Structure 1
Amino acid sequence: MNLSHPATTPRLFVLNVSAGAVLSMTPDGKDQQVIASHCHIPDGVAVDADAGRVYWTNMGVPSADDGTIERAGLDGSNRVTIVPQGVTHTPKQIHLEKQTGKLYWCDREGMRVMRSDLDGSAVETLVVAGDSAADLGDQTKWCVGIAVDPVAGQIYWTQKGSDNAGVGRILRAGIEIPAGQTAADRSDVEVWLDRLPEPIDLEIDHAQRMLYWTDRGDPPTGNTVNRAPLDAPAGQARPEIVLTHLMEGIGLALDLPGERMFVTDLGGSVYVAGLDGSEGHPILFAQGNLTGIAYAELPAAKA
């Protein structure tokens, strides 16, 4: 019996804010292809390899409230806006939850955690962290990074705080709003970790029950990739810094079978390292301003 897996091709999907583009490349930074151009300040990206689709958020101009979410084929075909202007303010990191067929994202100036179906319909607000008008200048309420833990039935998100203020937080709550409560008054929101420089994007290693995140604040604890046990009680997580010397770290993607991570920063670099940060090194640098990154094993015919 042949138990070999179907042939796959690994690809990175990287967002270049300077170019307004979604890029695809091999994990060594070569064979770069432009999947989409003229993107309006792209920030978060997620890939559905089986369906042959890539999703990304466009922050837009915060004062204009014109953020959107788009979807396209892995070759850039069939590009469509699935969440139009006026629905979400400043969408940041996006997460694709395959089991339930949902997209989750954080809305920074909207101060919300949101989700929708994969076609952009059935948009819901799961968490309201502040009033988008009254609290607009309060960066402690800006929601940025998002991750979903379907095993424990929880969502995690970051609220970064102002630059280098040391008031960044990672929070968590149930995936579903408790009965009889609303996104603004739900009682199950916990501060999982606080007093961080500027936590940005989140990723989960579900097998090892480990949460990873980037932090773009100042050294020594900022400009890093960190991790901590996912099931730590709120307020008791002990972060481990696994990668340092980023130039304002933003995007994070885990290749769990390959036991490695990929990281982007606003300085224009893409880094690869082991999950423990070992052998970390840049595979690209001076690429402009980079934000979101996703890793995917694509069926060979779709690469």
Structure 2
Amino acid sequence: MTANRIGKSNLAGTPSRRSSSCGLALLTLAFLAPSAARADDLFWTDNDDSRIYRSALDGSNRQTVLSLGAGVDPRGIAIDSLSGHLYWAENGTNRIRRANLDGTGAVTIVAANLAFPADVELDLAAGKIYWADRDLDWIRRANLDGTGVETVVNLPAAGNTTAPYFLELDPAGGKIYWSDFDSGIIHRANLSDGSGIENVVTGLDRVRDIVLDAAAGKLYWNDRDTHLVQRQNVGGGGRETLYGPAGLVEPHGLVLHDATNALFWADGEGRSIGSGGKNGGGPYATIANGAAPFHPWDIDIALTPIPEPQSIVLAGLGGSLLWRFTRRRR
């Protein structure tokens, strides 16, 4: 809804009770409203107590969004901030599901041909959800409502029997990245059809989640067994250890918050959510933790929409100023 307000003053800014028939000058100023502090939230799955949690970026205001029931075993999670939806994979029920960000309206969107659905990722521009199935050795995608399922990467058919586990998408670059359940390799292929499989990072231990910072040309990952958060150049070389091994146990999920240049990770056996700057070089913070069965697995961020533009229309009536303020209300 749009609220309009009209007023008049002298050009000096003092109120005026009369207008003039002199020439009219019209000036329109468009501007962005001062942005309030962002209220982006973390969401994470907990595969031991079968819950999905959310909190502020500093770990405060922690809430249970969904309590899914014993044995459901939620794994990968992905957030559609604009539509207000969260998507997740359930290993215990072999389903991929969707709900509103407050946990209401949960529906199953994929329930067939799943054996160990692990990570999920969204390509919102294309209206697609992707998932890795560890036990069926393929990466598939569908429309956001679960229709139109197709295989993107069939690893056995490609002569590769590794089990895909975590995913990262680069729609602008036309690539999909994935890690294996039990290897130290990060792979890449063409996003359109899964062709052109190549190894982009090797020599690691057991890679878990992957994050691409395309603007900086960096690829980030967690290494479960060496207890490290690391990165290197997308084109190869420049490998750095950012965090660990001290304090990290089994880091799995990983996400980059662009607005604060901060990494957030889920450490299952460490029973914690950690955070640190994307360039490393300093201590990291534990922003959420708990006793067993608290066991975070994957993590994502819901972003607050940016405020819409506002406008002021200024009309000069001789020595007076007629103004109109237009504000869009949600």
- TM class by shorter-chain length? 0.7 to 0.9
Unmatched 5+ residue regions in structure 1?
61-65, 162-166, 178-182
2:186 to 160, 170, 176: 170
- Corresponding residue of 2:222: 214
Q: Does structure 1 residue 123 correspond to structure 2 residue 134? A: no
**Greater per-residue strand proportion:** 2
Superposition misfits of 4+ residues, deviation over 2 angstroms: 4-8, 236-239, 298-301
How many angstroms apart in 2 are the aligned matches of 1:5 and 1:116?
Answer: 39
> Which is higher, the Rg of structure 1 or of structure 2?
2
Deviation of the 1:5 alpha carbon: 6.5
- Corresponding residue of 2:11: none
Classify the secondary structure of the residue corresponding to 1:151: coil
Unmatched 5+ residue regions in structure 2?
1-29, 308-330
1:270 to 258, 269, 273: 273
How many angstroms apart in 1 are the aligned matches of 2:211 and 2:85?
Answer: 20
- Corresponding residue of 2:31: 2
Amino acid aligned to 2:98 = R
- Corresponding residue of 2:21: none
* Offset from partner CA, 1:10-44 (integer Å, 9 cap, x none): 10001111220111111121212221112511111
Asked which structure has the greater RCO (Cα within 8 Å, sep 6+), the reply is 2
How many angstroms apart in 1 are the aligned matches of 2:257 and 2:306?
Answer: 17
1:50 to 60, 76, 82: 82
- Corresponding residue of 2:244: 244
Deviation of the 1:285 alpha carbon: 2.3
Amino acid aligned to 1:227 = R
2:118 to 73, 81, 92: 92
Contact 2:252 2:297 in 1 (8 A): yes
Contact 2:207 2:221 in 1 (8 A): yes
Amino acid aligned to 2:262 = R
How many angstroms apart in 1 are the aligned matches of 2:101 and 2:259?
Answer: 22
Amino acid aligned to 2:228 = T
Identity %: 30
- Corresponding residue of 2:18: none
Classify the secondary structure of the residue corresponding to 1:263: strand
Q: Does structure 1 residue 200 correspond to structure 2 residue 202? A: no
TM-score (norm 2): 0.76
Go from structure 1 to structure 2 and tell me whether the alpha carbon gap of 1:209 and 1:300 turns closer, same or farther (over 3 Å shift). closer
Deviation of the 1:216 alpha carbon: 0.3
Go from structure 1 to structure 2 and tell me whether the alpha carbon gap of 1:89 and 1:265 turns closer, same or farther (over 3 Å shift). same
Q: Map 1:35-74 onto structure 2 (within 5 A).
A: 35-38=65-68, 40-60=72-92, 66-74=93-101
- The alignment's C-alpha RMSD in Å is 2.2
Q: Does structure 1 residue 282 correspond to structure 2 residue 278? A: no
Instruction: State which drifts further: 122-131 or 40-49.
Output: 122-131
State the number of aligned residues: 268
How many angstroms apart in 1 are the aligned matches of 2:67 and 2:127?
Answer: 26
How many angstroms apart in 1 are the aligned matches of 2:252 and 2:115?
Answer: 19
Amino acid aligned to 2:96 = I
Deviation of the 1:89 alpha carbon: 1.8
* Offset from partner CA, 1:23-72 (integer Å, 9 cap, x none): 11111212122211125111111111110111111112xxxxx4111100
Go from structure 1 to structure 2 and tell me whether the alpha carbon gap of 1:112 and 1:224 turns closer, same or farther (over 3 Å shift). same
Amino acid aligned to 1:276 = N
